[in-house]
Amino acid sequence: MDLSHVILRIVVTDLPTSTLWYQRMLELEPMEPDDGTSVFLLTPSTALQLREEDEVTSTAPGCDLSLRVPDLGVAVAHVESLGIAHSDVVTLGEASGMFLVQDPDGREVTFLQVAT
């Protein structure tokens, strides 16, 4: 099966707050279609869509978000420059590691560097 596009949908409780948080974190401008969502084009074929609901369960299936980055140190510096708390960096090998932040709904977002 060939996939031409992947959309990851995340339910949030406050669309404006979450849109701003992800905009700052991802350093991307959101598209805001007329359907009450915010969409971030992560790659030419991958999008993150935020949709507002009254209640969110941060542990619900499908709520894990991992972002692979080329340089974990740069990602840590970026998160710290935004004043966002993060976990300690965990080393996963010689050139691999990860750390976590929480979005406005308490959902964990993992930043991951994988050795190439």
Spell out the domain ranges in the chain.
Answer: 1-55, 63-116
Tell me which residue of 60, 54, 100, 93 sits closest to 76, measured CA to CA.
100
DSSP 49-76: EEEE-S---TTSTT--EEEE-S-HHHHH
Same fold, 1-55 and 63-116: no
Could you tell me the two tokens for 51?
């949709």
- Confidence at 6, pLDDT banded by 50, 70, 90: confident
What pLDDT is stored for residue 114 in this prediction?
84
pLDDT value, residue 5: 77
Q: Residue 31 corresponds to which tokens in the numbers above? A: 């598209």
User: Is 3.30.720.120 the CATH number for 1-55?
Assistant: yes
* pTM of the predicted protein model: 0.80
Domain boundaries 63-116, CATH class: alpha beta
